[in-house]
């Protein structure tokens, strides 16, 4: 089997040499590196040319900007290798990355997509010891649940599959492309590749760090912290009914869009976990303004175990009952 790397670039001169050097140092070399550049105006293209004698680079200059989602789709579509590794311009790959993931594919012919953990580093490549999966809360419990067949349910709680840590089979990419155009801009290529493979039960992970994932102010996408505090009880009781329902309506609408896109790509998917969450959110998104009319949908979510199933993993044991009371009374 041949190996392709799909590298997307845009004004990446600050870190690109480090990433390309890590490609040179791989213990198993790629057969080709497809580069799709988004109109760089710095030294990005010159740096690529400097490495062209040491790496099998094929450089494509996009006539117009495609954005991260479409540019990775284009780069992967141009790859000829049996296994494709998406790559960001600002990371650093440890020497064994290609070899270890490639070997895993050879040992598991039933798997179409693989992802790993990554080490978080700063602009200068220094690390505090934190790992990517920590920030995504992909912990031992979630990893075990994943192995027990709950990969789709876990990804519906939030994407854990990061593109720069992935490897995918070319045959799988062809099966799930073109990427849907109906999804929000926050839903990127790695989320699509991950959730489709999870729905087919053809994705696995390796609990190892083969990528140094760089956090810096210039990155287009990446790990970002969250701000703000949960609303207080006073806030909850004083806000309008429409304000209360808005986040559930947004989440419900988003998952409906995801479901439609998934079935349009593969009509034979079994989406029980997705359908259950959509039904749960639909009940919360359309709670009547009259409190007495809310009793039936809120009891349905409580007695059906949905508040327990979909509560935040770090919330306290009483959280499902507080969610029930909030939906009933707010």
Mean pLDDT across the stretch 218-239?
A: 56
The pLDDT of residue 253 is: 96
The CATH number of 3-214 is which of 3.40.640.10, 3.10.129.10, 3.40.50.10490, 3.90.550.10?
3.90.550.10
Mean pLDDT across the stretch 105-126?
A: 96
The pLDDT of residue 42 is: 96
> Using CA atoms, how far apart are residues 130 and 107, in angstroms rounded to an integer?
30
Domain layout of the chain by residue ranges = 3-214, 233-329
Categorize the per-residue pLDDT at 56 as very low, low, confident or very high, splitting at 50, 70 and 90: very high
Does the structure show a pLDDT above 90 at 235? Answer: no
Mean pLDDT across the stretch 87-105?
A: 98
Mean pLDDT across the stretch 102-130?
A: 95
Where does residue 5 rank: exposed (0-12), middle (13-18), buried (19+ CB within 10 A)?
buried
Does the structure show a pLDDT above 60 at 15? Answer: yes
Mean pLDDT across the stretch 125-133?
A: 90
The pLDDT of residue 128 is: 81
Q: How far is CA 229 from its chain centroid?
A: 25
Radius of gyration of the chain from its Cα atoms, rounded to whole angstroms: 22
The pLDDT of residue 129 is: 87
Mean pLDDT across the stretch 211-232?
A: 63
Does the structure show a pLDDT above 60 at 110? Answer: yes
> Using CA atoms, how far apart are residues 93 and 19, in angstroms rounded to an integer?
7
CA angle, corner 318, sides to 312 and 320, nearest 5?
A: 55
Helices (H) and strands (E) in the chain, counts: 15, 9
Categorize the per-residue pLDDT at 225 as very low, low, confident or very high, splitting at 50, 70 and 90: very low
Mean pLDDT across the stretch 109-116?
A: 98
Mean pLDDT across the stretch 49-66?
A: 97
In angstroms, how far apart are the furthest CA atoms of the chain?
A: 73
CA angle, corner 270, sides to 265 and 273, nearest 5?
A: 115
Categorize the per-residue pLDDT at 298 as very low, low, confident or very high, splitting at 50, 70 and 90: very high
- Span 152-203, pLDDT tens digits: 999 999 999 999 999 999 999 999 999 999 998 889 999 999 999 999 999 9
- Span 262-271, pLDDT tens digits: 999 999 999 9
- First-to-final CA distance of the chain: 58
The pLDDT of residue 178 is: 96
Categorize the per-residue pLDDT at 127 as very low, low, confident or very high, splitting at 50, 70 and 90: confident
pTM for the full predicted model:
0.91
The 3-state DSSP composition of the chain as helix, strand, coil percent (nearest 5) reads: 45, 15, 35
Average pLDDT, the chain: 93
Where does residue 215 rank: exposed (0-12), middle (13-18), buried (19+ CB within 10 A)?
middle
> Using CA atoms, how far apart are residues 243 and 235, in angstroms rounded to an integer?
11
Does the structure show a pLDDT above 70 at 229? Answer: no
> Using CA atoms, how far apart are residues 89 and 115, in angstroms rounded to an integer?
18
> Using CA atoms, how far apart are residues 101 and 115, in angstroms rounded to an integer?
8
Q: Which helix H or strand E contains 114, and what residues bound it? A: strand 113-121
> Whose CA is closest to 176, among 153, 196, 201?
196
Alpha helices, H only, 151-290: 151-156, 170-176, 189-199, 233-238, 241-265, 272-285
């Amino acid at each position: 089997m041949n190996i392709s790397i799909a590298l997307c670039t845009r004004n990446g001169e600050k870190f690109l040499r480090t990433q390309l050097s890590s490609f040179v140092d791989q213990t198993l070399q790629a057969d080709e590196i497809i580069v799709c550049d988004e109109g760089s105006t710095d030294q990005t293209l010159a740096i690529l040319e400097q490495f062209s004698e040491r790496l099998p680079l094929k450089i494509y200059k996009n006539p117009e900007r495609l954005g991260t989602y479409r540019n990775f789709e284009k780069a992967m579509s141009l790859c000829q290798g049996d296994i494709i590794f998406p790559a960001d311009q600002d990371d650093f790959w440890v020497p064994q990355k290609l070899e270890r993931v490639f070997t895993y594919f050879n040992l598991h012919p039933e798997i179409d997509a693989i992802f790993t953990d990554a080490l978080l580093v700063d602009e200068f490549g220094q690390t505090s010891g934190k790992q990517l999966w920590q920030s995504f809360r992909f912990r031992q419990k979630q990893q075990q649940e994943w192995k027990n067949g709950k990969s789709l349910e876990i990804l519906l709680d939030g994407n854990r599959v990061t593109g720069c840590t992935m490897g995918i089979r070319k045959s799988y990419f062809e099966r799930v492309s073109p990427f849907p155009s109906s999804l929000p801009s926050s839903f990127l290529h790695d989320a699509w590749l991950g959730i489709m493979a999870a729905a087919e039960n053809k994705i696995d992970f390796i609990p190892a760090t083969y990528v140094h994932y760089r956090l810096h102010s210039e990155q287009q996408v990446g790990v970002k912290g969250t701000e703000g505090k949960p609303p207080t009880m006073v806030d909850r009781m004083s806000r309008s009914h429409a304000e209360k329902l808005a986040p559930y309506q947004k989440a419900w609408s988003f998952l409906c869009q995801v479901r439609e896109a998934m079935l349009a790509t593969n009509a034979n998917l079994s989406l029980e976990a997705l359908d259950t969450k959509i039904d749960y959110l639909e009940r919360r998104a359309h709670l009547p303004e009259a409190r007495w009319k809310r009793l039936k949908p809120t009891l349905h979510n409580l007695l059906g175990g949905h508040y327990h199933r979909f509560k935040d993993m770090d919330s306290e044991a009483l959280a499902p009952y507080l969610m029930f009371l909030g939906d009933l009374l707010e």
